[in-house]
């Protein structure tokens, strides 16, 4: 199931409550906070998100928004209190094993979502964990088992090659804490494989697939789990991941395809930006400016696709005037099979991911 849309409630500066829907609640809240959201919130800044509810699609979210808007204020406050109580009780503490590139990005998101006092981290190189903890205000410990003992949710952020050893070494601590929820971020390692390493321990397991823009809160992240994983586990992990970017729930069978487009995708886009800048340099712009203009253009174009809801082909058509310069550029890309190359890049990445998962 994809979780495309959210209903949210904002508490405005005057204490009033505003209900809305959005694909990305934090982004929408930022728009309200700039005075560019609904008319209602414009004179009631600042606003704070006090309630979020994931819906499978936009239509469901709109119906739920309408239902919440019909509630009396005291019932809305009860809904909010219930939600915040659940959030507080379902996510007490998170541990991160591995404070490298991706672990570091998620640790930062967890510190924002839960408060640094709720986050404990470890790394093979303790000095690395200690340095990051010093920067973010969370706690570094030396031993993976000790991190697990201190937390309800344990994020496994080591490389796939060392995951088996790390997971097996956690078994004694897991026996003492069977309610632990493990969250793996390793590419290509299926939940069933991880479960096989745990022997007679049977913690709930979730699997996430982040991408590198998560480091600046602009990631695209997928979340999956076994059918028996509880809703509260998903929601607790989503609350963290939401600080790292946009989150969708997928089936595990979709993760490799997701990984090929969203995980590997940044490496397809960076050379595109670089090449566009090369073109601009060739026709006379200084390198630094060319790079900024190309990158900002890609960022803006991506935002147009997401925010307008229009098909990219339609947006392309809207830029191309008859006999103009843009269609001349589009034709040059087509002559070099640009779109086929992009399709093949995702397909090649997908097949390689599937192969790596078999090893």
Ligand X SMILES: NC(=O)c1ccc[n+]([C@@H]2O[C@H](COP(=O)([O-])OP(=O)(O)OC[C@H]3O[C@@H](n4cnc5c(N)ncnc54)[C@H](OP(=O)(O)O)[C@@H]3O)[C@@H](O)[C@H]2O)c1
Query: Which residues form the interface with ligand X (CB under 6 A)?
Result: 97-103, 122-125, 128, 144, 157-160, 162, 166, 185-187, 209-212, 263
The nearest distance, CB 129 to ligand X, in angstroms, is 8
In the complex with ligand X, which residue's Cβ is closer, 101 or 326?
101
In the complex with ligand X, which residue's Cβ is closer, 25 or 157?
157
In the 3-class helix/strand/coil scheme, how is 167-197 assigned residue by residue? Answer: HHHHHHHHHHCCCCEEEECCCCCCHHHHHHH
Which DSSP state fits 260? I
The nearest distance, CB 225 to ligand X, in angstroms, is 16
The nearest distance, CB 312 to ligand X, in angstroms, is 24
In the complex with ligand X, which residue's Cβ is closer, 135 or 159?
159
Cα–chain center distance at 1: 16
The nearest distance, CB 189 to ligand X, in angstroms, is 7
- The four Cα atoms 342, 286, 215, 54 give a dihedral, to 10 degrees, of -60
Contacts of 315 (CB under 8 A, 6+ apart): 301, 304, 305, 308
In the complex with ligand X, which residue's Cβ is closer, 245 or 263?
263
In the complex with ligand X, which residue's Cβ is closer, 185 or 247?
185
Residue closest to ligand X when measured from CB atoms: 100
In the complex with ligand X, which residue's Cβ is closer, 120 or 157?
157
CA distance to 115, 135, 137, 268, 272, per residue, from 129 (Å):
17, 10, 11, 31, 35
In the complex with ligand X, which residue's Cβ is closer, 74 or 161?
161
The nearest distance, CB 356 to ligand X, in angstroms, is 10
Determine the Cα–Cα distance for residues 211 and 219; give it in Å rounded to an integer. Answer: 6
The nearest distance, CB 102 to ligand X, in angstroms, is 3
Query: What separation, in Å, do the N-terminal and C-terminal C-alpha atoms of the chain show?
Result: 28
Structure tokens at 119: 């986050």
Place of tokens 């979020």: 52
Determine the Cα–Cα distance for residues 170 and 209; give it in Å rounded to an integer. Answer: 22
Place of tokens 């793996």: 184
The nearest distance, CB 38 to ligand X, in angstroms, is 36
């Amino acid at each position: 199931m994809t979780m495309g849309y959210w209903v949210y409630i904002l508490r405005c500066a005057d204490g009033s409550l505003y209900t809305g829907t959005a694909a990305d609640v934090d982004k929408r809240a930022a728009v309200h906070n700039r005075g560019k959201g609904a008319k209602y919130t414009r004179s009631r800044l600042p606003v704070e998100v006090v309630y979020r509810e994931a819906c499978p699609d936009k239509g469901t979210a709109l119906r739920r928004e309408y239902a919440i808007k019909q509630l009396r204020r005291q019932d809305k406050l009860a809904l909010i209190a219930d939600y915040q109580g659940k959030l507080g009780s379902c996510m007490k503490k998170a541990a991160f094993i591995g404070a490298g590139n991706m672990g570091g990005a998620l640790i930062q998101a967890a510190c924002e979502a839960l408060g640094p006092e709720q986050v404990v981290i470890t790394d093979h190189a303790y000095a690395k964990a200690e340095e990051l903890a010093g920067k973010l205000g969370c706690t570094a410990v030396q031993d993976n088992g000790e991190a697990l003992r201190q937390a309800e949710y344990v994020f496994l952020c080591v490389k796939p090659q060392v995951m088996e050893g790390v997971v097996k070494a956690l078994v004694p601590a897991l026996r003492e804490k069977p309610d632990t929820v493990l969250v793996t971020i390793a590419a290509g390692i299926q939940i069933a494989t991880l479960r096989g390493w745990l022997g007679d321990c049977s913690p709930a397991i979730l699997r996430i697939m982040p991408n590198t823009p998560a480091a600046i809160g602009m990631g695209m992240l997928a979340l999956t789990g076994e059918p028996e994983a509880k809703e509260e586990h998903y929601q607790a992990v989503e609350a963290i991941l939401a600080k790292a970017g946009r989150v969708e729930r997928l089936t595990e069978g979709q993760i490799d395809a997701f990984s090929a487009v969203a995980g590997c995708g940044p490496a397809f886009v960076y050379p595109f930006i670089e090449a566009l800048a090369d073109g601009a340099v060739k026709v006379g712009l200084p390198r630094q400016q060319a790079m900024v203009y190309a990158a900002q253009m890609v960022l803006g174009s991506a935002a147009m696709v997401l925010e307008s809801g229009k098909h990219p082909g339609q947006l392309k058509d809207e830029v191309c005037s008859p006999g103009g310069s843009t269609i001349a550029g589009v034709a040059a890309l087509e002559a070099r099979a640009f779109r086929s190359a992009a399709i093949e890049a995702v397909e090649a990445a997908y097949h390689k991911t599937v192969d790596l998962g078999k090893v």
